Structure 1
Amino acid sequence: MITQTQRRARLRDASDPNSLSTRRQLRTAYEDAATEHVRRVSVSWLCERAGVGRSTFYTHFSAVEDLAAYVVTSGFDELAEEDIRARSSGVSGSDAAHAGLARVVAMLADQRAVIEYSFAEGSRSSVVANMVSWFALYTRDTIARAYDDRDDAQIDLIAEFVSAGVVHAALLALEQGTITNHEDIVDLLSAMLPEALRATS
């Protein structure tokens, strides 16, 4: 049986135009639901709006909360690629991590309305857990490079740990509003990253 993590990994690597188009259609449908404040948004509503079948939806996502998390984190794949390029070109690990975290915080702030809608319409814990899983998938390559002496299971564990910390802390800071300067949030998150991710490659 294929796990959701394996499905996500396949989807992340899939450059098939049909798969990309389907995810884009479902993302747009979910963003429409958030904009229109659709109450109790369902897989059926999303599929009808996107023009895709239910089985197609479940090929890509496990539930509405999984799609919601994908919508919020979908820009993180580019951030992960930029992070690897920066580290490979000689940018210090600390500077690369800081720049990446700055973009993560900015993206979460920009997606605030979608996040609030997702929490109001679905299970907050499920949306956040899915955000952590998507974020871990996107950052796994960076983690693997920083911990090149670890096996796959350990890399997965570290990726989940780091991702959970970043997602939970960033959301908490943005929601509470007690730290209003995004740069201060980024500085705190950067300081909490494991040393291996801040070290020069």
Structure 2
Amino acid sequence: MPSTSERAQDPRPARTRAAIFAAARALTVADGEVAVNALAQRAGVSRAAFYSHFSGLDDLMAAMLSQMFDSSRERGLAYAQEGRTVHEAVRFGFGMLTAYVELHHTFLRGALDWKFSHRTYTILVDTMTELHGEALQRLGDEVPVHLRTEDACRTIVGGCLSLVVHWLVASEQRARDGDALDATDLLDSILTTAPAWYTGLEPGAPTGAAGLMEICRQVRADEES
């Protein structure tokens, strides 16, 4: 008789979780206010199945963002291993975040209306701070000596999230009108306002946001195809 470790793992929980993620990502402005029942129905699972994986919409958002950050970390490391500079990897990381926001703007805009908890927001900020902390460690002496690393990371994260939220709110009517949204301006704003010592971009220099967005859109599309 095969041992527990030798038995095939039940694939159903993973399929259910993936179906819920896909249903959330496929939300459109026409769906209106999102509720667990509607999301479970779209995913083809029961309400009980939804709650067996997530405590609510707040928990779902945290899980999806966690998945996105895990993917971004892996992609960032792979990008750096291709011989890119740390500054190029930093800009790529901002591009990957922006491409995710552009691709899933309806889900993220809806999450603002869910009034997700302070705890979830704190986890989001802490996770982003950790990612930026890894980049600052790799920059080494290029980081201004007077800065405290964690404080610098939290400032970068706070500014980035503020720009993302503003873009989501400002683009809501265009999304409702059925316009295809382009977040290149969002990426340009993030790269322009982030510290020059961090992005490697000289103040006032072109950010290359358009070309970077094309690359990151394709990477995101490949990941989710």
TMscore range, shorter length: 0.5 to 0.7
2:139 paired with 1:144: no
Counterpart of 1:50 (choices 32, 40, 45) is: 45
Letter in 1 for 2:94: L
The 3 A distance-change label for structure 1 pair 81 and 37 is same
C-alpha separation between the residues in 2 aligned to 1:175 and 1:128? 19
For each residue in 1:128-156, what CA deviation from the matched residue of structure 2 results, as whole angstroms up to 9, or x when unmatched? 9736734753673452352378xxxx877
Q: Aligned Cα RMSD in Å? A: 4.1
2:171 paired with 1:170: no
The 3 A distance-change label for structure 1 pair 69 and 127 is farther
The answer as to whether partners of 1:65 and 1:130 remain within 8 angstroms in 2 is: yes
The 3 A distance-change label for structure 1 pair 77 and 64 is same
2:190 paired with 1:189: yes
C-alpha separation between the residues in 2 aligned to 1:164 and 1:193? 11
The answer as to whether partners of 1:119 and 1:127 remain within 8 angstroms in 2 is: no
Aligned to 2:120: 130
Counterpart of 2:58 (choices 57, 62, 65) is: 65
The 3 A distance-change label for structure 1 pair 89 and 31 is closer
> Residues 1-201 of structure 1 correspond to what in structure 2 (within 5 A)?
20-31=14-25, 37=31, 39=33, 41-42=35-36, 49-51=44-46, 52=49, 54-58=51-55, 63-71=56-64, 74-120=67-113, 122-123=114-115, 126=116, 130=120, 133-134=123-124, 136-137=126-127, 140-141=130-131, 143-147=133-137, 160-176=154-170, 182-194=183-195, 197-198=198-199
The 3 A distance-change label for structure 1 pair 18 and 156 is farther
Give the gaps of 5 or more residues in structure 1.
1-15
C-alpha separation between the residues in 1 aligned to 2:166 and 2:76? 24
Give the gaps of 5 or more residues in structure 2.
1-9, 141-147, 172-180, 201-225
How many residue pairs were aligned? 170
Q: CA deviation at 1:127?
A: 6.8
Moved more, 92-101 or 181-190: 181-190
Q: CA deviation at 1:195?
A: 5.8
The 3 A distance-change label for structure 1 pair 69 and 57 is closer
The answer as to whether partners of 1:73 and 1:135 remain within 8 angstroms in 2 is: no
TM-score when normalising by structure 1: 0.58
The 3 A distance-change label for structure 1 pair 79 and 31 is closer
Letter in 1 for 2:98: V
The answer as to whether partners of 1:72 and 1:108 remain within 8 angstroms in 2 is: no
Letter in 2 for 1:186: L
Q: CA deviation at 1:91?
A: 0.9
Q: CA deviation at 1:109?
A: 1.6
The answer as to whether partners of 1:108 and 1:171 remain within 8 angstroms in 2 is: no
The 3 A distance-change label for structure 1 pair 192 and 136 is farther
Secondary structure at the residue paired with 1:90? coil
Q: CA deviation at 1:110?
A: 1.8
TM-score when normalising by structure 2: 0.53
The answer as to whether partners of 1:26 and 1:47 remain within 8 angstroms in 2 is: yes
C-alpha separation between the residues in 2 aligned to 1:34 and 1:65? 19
